[in-house]
Amino acid sequence: MKKLLGPACFAALLALFAAGCATTEVEEPIPVDITLEELQSKMTRAMDPTGRYAKAKTYTMQQTTSTERFLDDPEVQRVEVKFARPDSFSLTTYEDNEPLSGMIVNDKNGWVADYRRRKVVQLDGKQLEQLKMLSSIASPDSTYRKIFASAELSGCRIDGKDYYKITCLHREPDQGPTEIYVDREEFLPRRWKTSFKAGNNRIDYDSRIDKYSLRDGVMIPDETTTVQNGHKQTTTVTYYRLNTAISPRTFRPPLF
């Protein structure tokens, strides 16, 4: 089956739940010369050229994030993602080398951990399903039409650059469509746009992949710029490795 966007984009999407309005650009519609299934096959070959990711059982990735702050220095944090097939993952945010927050999903359970307050909250059914949906993006067996309520392919031209555009509708009514822009020459995703409701607030999310690098045989988005409700964050991958040894305890909540 087709691999989707892989672990780095998966981690970027998880940042939606860890919580920077997107710019308006003219999109000129252009025809497409490919089906969505054919595009996904080409994306798989572009991002996993050796097939190592599709065969991997686990991976570990570390990122550094820098978030702009008004009249202050940027907030710099480290994020570590650990994933084990089929759908166990943890995402831990560190500040000054101390764990700050974490999200853990293991089988039918999920938790959010606040390390400073030494508090763990179990996710409800809706929250858990949303996170498990995101974890399925990292699965080699997933396709857009499996994950989303619907997925349609179109084409567009922005500032003279041609893209395939995948518009995905979510099953949750308060989640806006997710739009994925794929480079028509390299078949690499270059941009994610979506919106969702968090409490009484509407969040607009726009993430651009600025640079790819080949790490452990996988094409990884090394540098990403995200704007979420006017707040800009840059993310840089500092470490990525397939088939790392991960303790089962990683996918359980911390004991305070």
Residue of higher predicted confidence among 40 and 6: 40
Q: What is the pLDDT of residue 13?
A: 56
Structural domains of the chain in order of their starting residue, each with its CATH number: 6-251 (2.50.20.10)
pLDDT in tens, 69-125: 888 888 999 999 999 988 888 999 999 999 999 999 987 899 999 999 999 999 887
With a cut of 70, say whether residue 191 has pLDDT above it: yes
Strands (E), 33-160: 58-69, 72-84, 88-95, 98-106, 109-114, 119-122, 150-158
Residue of higher predicted confidence among 2 and 49: 49
Q: What is the pLDDT of residue 222?
A: 94
Q: What is the pLDDT of residue 65?
A: 95
With a cut of 50, say whether residue 4 has pLDDT above it: no
Residue 2's Cβ-side half-sphere holds a number of Cα atoms within 13 Å equal to 17
Tell me the pLDDT band of 19, cut-offs 50, 70 and 90: very low
Residue of higher predicted confidence among 195 and 27: 27
Residue 43, classified by CB atoms within 10 Å of its CB into exposed (0-12), middle (13-18) or buried (19+), is: buried
CA gap 164, 186 in Å, rounded: 11
Q: What is the pLDDT of residue 20?
A: 39
CA gap 250, 59 in Å, rounded: 13
Mean residue pLDDT of the chain comes to: 86
Q: What is the pLDDT of residue 135?
A: 67
8 Å CB contact between 14 and 134:
yes
Percent of the chain with pLDDT over 70: 87
CA gap 223, 78 in Å, rounded: 14
What is the arithmetic mean of pLDDT over 148-163?
95
Q: What is the pLDDT of residue 172?
A: 80
pLDDT in tens, 213-230: 999 999 999 999 999 888
Q: What is the pLDDT of residue 21?
A: 42
Residue of higher predicted confidence among 138 and 236: 236
Q: What is the pLDDT of residue 219?
A: 94
